Chain A
Amino acid sequence: MAKGIKIRATAKKDSTTVKALMSHPMDTGLRKDKKTGKVIPAHFIQEVKCEHNGNAVLTALWGPAISKNPYLSFKFKGGNKGDSIKISWVDNKGESASQEAQIR
């Protein structure tokens, strides 16, 4: 499974905008496999942590109603070019991924 997180963080004046795209099936547990007719078990990201220079900025708690390959965007005060942004997620199967990027 591709575990990439694409992050783009841009600082403008005193506000930083972070946009992130994660690669995840986000199965609700309601959908059936067309070929086998079996229900695809729920598999979705539950928690996304966003850190700026090691400080938690935002924690997203998600249910299965977030779209496949989730998109997340948020803003925070402060943040300079070159600062590190770290985003990590954990899903309901205990899988996880994390990615670091620099503010541009």
Chain B
Amino acid sequence: MERRTFLKGSMAGSAVAVAVGAGLLTPQSVLAAWPKEAFEAKGVDNAMSTLFGSKDSAASKDIKIKAPDIAENGAVVPVSITAAQSGIESISILAAANASPLCASFDMGANAEGYVSTRIKMGKTSKVIAVVKAGGKVYSASKDVKVTIGGCGG
């Protein structure tokens, strides 16, 4: 119960301040490419605009998201994305209800196939959104994942 209340409280706002504070200590020179603003953006639309310059994306059936319908542990949600587009530049994973929805963004090299798999944390039940940038266009697909235990805490 204690953990649950903490999770709710931390989602509200204090969390962001801490994240920003920690970010200031980061040696940014080493990681010039890391899109700090996109990772700290609140809400899917903000994260999308920061990352791609626009919150709009075309829904695509060529993107397949493999994730559990019900995740028993929100701290470890396996997500695999398969995209059939040609010329994929990047694949990003967003968890819609997380305080900062952007989980990961993968820049694909010329030989990389449209597939990535990783494990993400999800604060609560929400959509997992896969965003694929290919040929200058932005495509997306989403899948609902029900979380029974929150994972934002760790």
Interface residue ranges, A against B (CB under 8 Å): 15, 26-32, 39-42, 46-47, 52, 55-68, 70-78, 90, 92-94
Q: Closest 10 interchain pairs by CB?
A: A42-B22, A73-B117, A67-B119, A63-B39, A65-B103, A75-B113, A59-B107, A31-B154, A57-B109, A61-B105
Contact indicator B76/A67 (Cβ below 8 Å): yes
Enumerate chain B residues within 8 angstroms of A40, measured Cβ to Cβ: 154
State which of B19, B111, B118 has its C-beta within 8 Å of the C-beta of A42.
B19
Could you tell me how many residues of chain B have their Cβ less than 8 Å away from some Cβ of chain A? 49
Contact indicator A74/B15 (Cβ below 8 Å): no
State which of A15, A30, A52, A63 has its C-beta within 8 Å of the C-beta of B102.
A63
Known: A30-B10, A59-B33, A59-B107. 9 other contacts (CB 8 A): A26-B154, A29-B21, A29-B22, A47-B31, A56-B109, A58-B116, A63-B103, A64-B39, A74-B117
Task: Report the Cα distance A41→B20, complex, angstroms.
Answer: 11
Is B108 close to A, CB under 8 A? Answer: yes
A27's nearest neighbour on chain B, judged by CB, is B154
Q: How far is the CB of A59 from chain B (nearest CB, A)?
A: 4
Task: Report the Cα distance A52→B109, complex, angstroms.
Answer: 10
Task: Report the Cα distance A41→B23, complex, angstroms.
Answer: 10
State which of A15, A39, A61, A76 has its C-beta within 8 Å of the C-beta of B107.
A61
B95's nearest neighbour on chain A, judged by CB, is A65
State which of B23, B25, B100 has its C-beta within 8 Å of the C-beta of A65.
B100
Enumerate chain A residues within 8 angstroms of B19, measured Cβ to Cβ: 28-30, 42, 64
